[in-house]
Amino acid sequence: MSARYPGGLITKTPVIPSGPYQCSTAPGIWTIDQMLTWQKAGLWPSATGGQAPGTFAIFAIGRSSCCASSVATKNKYTYSGDVNSIATSATIPSRYQSAVGNSTRGIFALGQSLACGAVATRNKHTYSGCVVSSATSASTGNWQGSAAGNSTTGIFALSYNNSSTIIATRNKYTYSSDTNGTAAAASIPSREGSAAGTSTVGIFALASFCCCGSLTGTATRDKYTYSSCTNGSATSASTAGGGLGAASGNSTVGIFAIGGATTTRNKYTYSGDVNAVATASSAGSGGGSAAGNSTIGIFAIGQNLTTRNKYTYSGDTSVSATASSITTLYGSATSNGTTGVNI
């Protein structure tokens, strides 16, 4: 805060409009030039209390080494300016999450709570006002899942239930009515996957499945079509999933971090169902999360690090992004206005 305008009722005005009020109002005294500058940067609140679509992402930290346990902490990453700030926390500390959203809200499946094990609990993070509230629960307690969706529905792969059984079950969450229903199941029971998609399809990387009594990595991907609620096959990844990867994308490509100890990323092109190797991450990405807008994807590496990478879709380049506020592992993320995501 800076005392740029001392006296009167308002004695302090922020240097930039950042912080919890960024989703609602910008308190202080601002010149027209300042307002126009921050508006152009996507940091000035709109008349409806929100920000333009595709301007920020909400990252749920998951588990942090600072506390040696799950946390409820969330961060807000603003694409323009590469700025990180604190966002409203989840209702309970949790890890092994998944998340998806549209331009007005993000739905976070909280995964595993240390107190309760696998939970069916979901939170609704409303971007306007940065308000967190309860959302309709999943059909069963679940963790190590993934999610993708469009502007009306989010598809959650539940993956691992509260009996520690790997399942193929998916749920369909409808934003407008806050209702949960059944979706077409995955092609095989799997866990530790990731997902990204367009307005018509979601691509689910299945990562790990149980074979002959042991957990085995797989390169299998599913293509989920929203309009018909059907599941089909998509071109496989370049290598079997390392587990707990992350994905983000725009309307033409999805970028999948394979996870585990590997730095490998794949670029999936929706038109043509084509897979190629993409620029690698700066470190192994197991336990990471990702969200993005139409031009860049922000990958939280996980691995109990604060490291984030900024991946530019058009140039297939990856550079450092502003770090998270604390170390992160097994979290999730969603963005205002861009589909795709998750752990």
Nearest-angstrom CA–CA distance, 174 and 151: 9
Residues 89-128 have pLDDT tens digits of 999 999 999 999 998 999 999 999 877 688 999 999 999 8
pLDDT at residue 65 above 90? no
Cα→Cα distances 30→3, 10, 35, Å: 12, 11, 7
* Ranges of H-type helices in the chain: 32-40
Give the pLDDT score at 17: 64
- Arithmetic mean of pLDDT over the chain: 86
Give the pLDDT score at 162: 75
Q: Are 340 and 195 in contact (CB under 8 A)?
A: yes
| pLDDT, average across residues 119-139 | 95
Give the pLDDT score at 257: 95
Note the pTM of the prediction, 2 decimals: 0.85
Structure tokens at 193: 């996957």
322 three-class SS: coil
Give the pLDDT score at 260: 87
pLDDT at residue 201 above 80? yes
Nearest-angstrom CA–CA distance, 162 and 91: 19
Q: Are 75 and 325 in contact (CB under 8 A)?
A: yes
* Helix, strand, coil percentages for the chain (3-state, nearest 5): 5, 45, 50
* Ranges of H-type helices in 296-341: none
CATH architecture of 56-335: 6 Propeller (2.120)
Give the pLDDT score at 25: 56
Tracing tokens 């995964």 back to the chain, one arrives at 111
Q: Are 21 and 27 in contact (CB under 8 A)?
A: yes
Give the pLDDT score at 314: 95
**Strand partners of residue 195:** 204
Task: Give the confidence band of 153 by pLDDT, cuts at 50, 70, 90.
Answer: very high
Q: Locate the domains of the chain by residue range.
A: 1-52, 56-335
Burial class of residue 211, CB neighbours in 10 A (0-12, 13-18, 19+): exposed
pLDDT at residue 152 above 80? yes
Task: Give the confidence band of 82 by pLDDT, cuts at 50, 70, 90.
Answer: very high
